[in-house]
């Protein structure tokens, strides 16, 4: 069921009934409505509403689990695929996010209803760039309007055309998504799946990644974000599934070894810079 009058009325009734309730009361009420046989046609959309509410309260992982389940159960519903993809972006499961966003686009192009498909290119481009799949990101950006952004998604850097262009090494005017040191969050820890992947990297693979990073560091200050995504575009050093956060960890290690110098908080990739050591090995102010 997709955006019918009957569905809108059912969702409106749900919203009115839960108005003023606490989060726990709202979730319990929606769960009761979901279990009612009378609401069988609306079950998935009630689940979708619950997930949005949980996400608004910061329970991102729980919301993502619901959205992914709904998308799996409704493989031909572009709305379900779209929101599952967005939620997986927030939990940094970029590869799976691309799968759901791609399915959303596929459904939209097949049906001719491009409402969600047109909106899926930006988050898919972001996920592709975060994984170093710059060819996919570049292709998707052609379908994205200048200035487009999704600032409500919990992601750093912000999900926007400008942030993706920076990952691709494209110069972006300073007034496009200006980066504030105070507003940019430190990178999150690796997820369990990401940690499992990098723990299996060989010494040769680590050396290849470090070499790619070093090749993109010069005697002039460069943004860590630029260095990382340039290194990730090196096909010889690319490791499937190794995300930008891991590359940033390698940059920090190279700084600790004295192989490069840094200014700023290295855990804020868009607000820190690195360069090759200067004569005397002293870190100098810019």
Give per-residue pLDDT as tens, 40-79.
888 998 998 898 888 877 788 898 899 999 999 999 999 9
Closest listed residue to residue 98, CA positions, set 115, 121, 75:
121
- 179/134: higher pLDDT: 134
Residues 14-26 pLDDT 10s: 888 887 788 899 9
Residues 75 and 202 in one domain: no
* Structural domain boundaries, residue 237: 192-275
Residues 161 and 197 in one domain: no
Residues 169-224 pLDDT 10s: 887 765 555 444 444 566 777 777 778 888 888 888 888 899 989 988 988 888 88
- 38/230: higher pLDDT: 38
- The whole-angstrom separation of Cα 282 and Cα 113 is 59
pLDDT at 70: 93
* Residue 227: inside a domain: yes
Question: At 228, which CATH number?
Answer: 1.10.10
pLDDT at 77: 92
Residues 211 and 155 in one domain: no
pTM tops 0.85: no
Total tally of structural domains belonging to the chain: 2
**Residues sharing a CB contact under 8 Å with residue 153, sequence separation 6 or more, in sequence order:** 86, 89, 90, 123, 159
- The whole-angstrom separation of Cα 157 and Cα 151 is 10
**Residues sharing a CB contact under 8 Å with residue 255, sequence separation 6 or more, in sequence order:** 261, 262, 266, 274
CB atoms within 10 A of CB 15: 11
Residues 199 and 252 in one domain: yes
Residues 72-100 pLDDT 10s: 999 999 999 999 999 999 888 999 999 99
* Residue 182: inside a domain: no
Residues 224-238 pLDDT 10s: 887 887 787 765 656
Residues 29 and 160 in one domain: yes
Residues 131 and 249 in one domain: no
pLDDT at 103: 97
239 pLDDT tier (thresholds 50, 70, 90): low
* Residue 282: inside a domain: no
Question: At 32, which CATH number?
Answer: 1.25.40.10
Taking 60 as the threshold, does the pLDDT of residue 11 lie above it? yes
């Amino acid at each position: 069921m997709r955006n019918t009058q009957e569905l809108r009325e059912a969702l409106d009734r749900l919203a009115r009934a839960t108005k003023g309730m606490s989060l726990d009361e709202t979730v319990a009420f929606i769960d009761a409505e979901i279990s009612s046989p009378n609401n069988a046609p609306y079950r998935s959309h009630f689940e979708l509403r619950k997930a949005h509410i949980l996400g608004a309260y910061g329970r991102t992982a729980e919301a993502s689990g619901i959205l992914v389940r709904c998308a799996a159960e409704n493989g031909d519903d572009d709305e379900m695929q779209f929101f599952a993809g967005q939620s997986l972006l927030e939990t940094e499961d970029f590869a799976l996010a691309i799968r759901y966003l791609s399915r959303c686009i596929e459904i939209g192009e097949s049906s001719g209803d491009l409402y969600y498909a047109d909106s899926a290119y930006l988050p898919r481009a972001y996920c592709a760039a975060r994984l170093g799949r710059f060819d996919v990101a570049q292709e998707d950006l052609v379908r994205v309007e200048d200035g487009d952004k999704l600032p409500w998604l919990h992601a750093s850097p912000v999900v926007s055309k400008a942030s993706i262009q920076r990952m691709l090494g494209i110069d972006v005017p300073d007034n496009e998504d200006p980066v504030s040191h105070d507003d940019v969050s430190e990178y999150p820890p690796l997820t369990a799946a990401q940690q499992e992947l990098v723990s299996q990297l060989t010494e040769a693979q680590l050396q290849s990644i470090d070499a790619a990073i070093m090749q993109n560091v010069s005697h002039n200050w460069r943004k860590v974000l630029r260095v990382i995504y340039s290194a990730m575009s090196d096909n010889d050093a690319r490791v499937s599934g190794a995300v930008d956060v891991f590359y940033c960890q390698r940059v920090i290690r190279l700084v600790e070894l004295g192989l490069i110098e840094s200014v700023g908080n290295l855990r804020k990739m868009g607000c820190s810079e690195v360069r090759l050591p200067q004569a005397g090995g002293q870190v100098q102010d810019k």
